[in-house]
Chain A
Amino acid sequence: GQNIDQPTEMTATEGAIVQINCTYQTSGFNGLFWYQQHAGEAPTFLSYNVLDGLEEKGRFSSFLSRSKGYSYLLLKELQMKDSASYLCAVSRSGATNKLIFGTGTLLAVQP
């Protein structure tokens, strides 16, 4: 089976840095994704890690450790518009590489 865990809610201050953790247990791991979802909207792609290490893209970075079944999303210089749900999703190897989503972390950025 598979299990993906991430905190339900987090609060951070505008301009600060926040780290959202995700742990997973799955068979046939084929990469880990982070998506951002604003309320009532569809998820938008943020990052994709398939190898261990840190991937940096502007204010957002994502880290993966396959041996530990662990990833985090790091958001720097937080802005109010970063208030959203952040979804961790694991891709399982196979004909379709379907994604299994975690429950999401609702981030509230305060002034």
Chain B
Amino acid sequence: GAVVSQHPSWVICKSGTSVKIECRSLDFQATTMFWYRQFPKQSLMLMATSNEGSKATYEQGVEKDKFLINHASLTLSTLTVTSAHPEDSSFYICSARETSGTNIQYFGAGTRLSVL
């Protein structure tokens, strides 16, 4: 149980375009999902907390107009990187925590974004 699916796993796009990443909890409901960013050989940096039915909470220094988050249902959150630039190239990972359960976060497989 506790499977989180993240799609796509790899995306290459041109500078200036927008990219949408999906995060789904397959076998449980998740009121709260999290979006992280990870640079090579570094740890995970929390970008924002996605709350079902309400606005996301962004960490300090993360541009909310740049990284749009939508959490329309208890099993789906999306992250859209708008007007992507090469410096946005990174590994983006989502996680989900069961609505009624432990404090454990389960992670998706990650999305590697390369902006040309």
Chain B residues whose CB sits within 8 angstroms of the CB of A102 once the complex forms: 43
Is B100 among interface residues, defined by CB-CB distance under 8 A?
A: no
In the complex, the answer to whether B104 meets A48 with C-beta atoms within 8 Å is: yes
Contact with A along B75-116 (1 / 0, CB 8 A): 000000000000000010100010000111111111010000
In the complex, the answer to whether B110 meets A42 with C-beta atoms within 8 Å is: yes
CB distance from A21 to the nearest CB of B (A): 16
Is A87 among interface residues, defined by CB-CB distance under 8 A?
A: yes
> Taking CB as reference atom, which chain A residue is nearest B49?
A96
> Taking CB as reference atom, which chain B residue is nearest A96?
B49
In the complex, the answer to whether B103 meets A30 with C-beta atoms within 8 Å is: yes
Of the residues B34, B44, B45, B110, contact of A41 by C-beta under 8 Å: B110
In the complex, the answer to whether A87 meets B43 with C-beta atoms within 8 Å is: yes
In the complex, the answer to whether B104 meets A96 with C-beta atoms within 8 Å is: no
> Taking CB as reference atom, which chain A residue is nearest B112?
A40
Query: Which among B41, B43, B110, B112 has the highest number of chain A CB atoms within 10 Å?
Result: B43
Alpha-carbon separation in the docked complex, A11 to B44 (Å): 22
Alpha-carbon separation in the docked complex, A48 to B41 (Å): 24
Is B25 among interface residues, defined by CB-CB distance under 8 A?
A: no
Is A100 among interface residues, defined by CB-CB distance under 8 A?
A: yes
In the complex, the answer to whether A97 meets B103 with C-beta atoms within 8 Å is: yes
CB distance from B19 to the nearest CB of A (A): 18
A:27-80 near B, CB below 8 Å: 30-31, 33, 35, 40-45, 48, 50
In the complex, the answer to whether A104 meets B43 with C-beta atoms within 8 Å is: yes
In the complex, the answer to whether A48 meets B46 with C-beta atoms within 8 Å is: no
Alpha-carbon separation in the docked complex, A101 to B47 (Å): 12
In the complex, the answer to whether A45 meets B43 with C-beta atoms within 8 Å is: no
Give the interface of A toward B (CB within 8 A). Answer: 30-31, 33, 35, 40-45, 48, 50, 87, 91, 96-104, 106
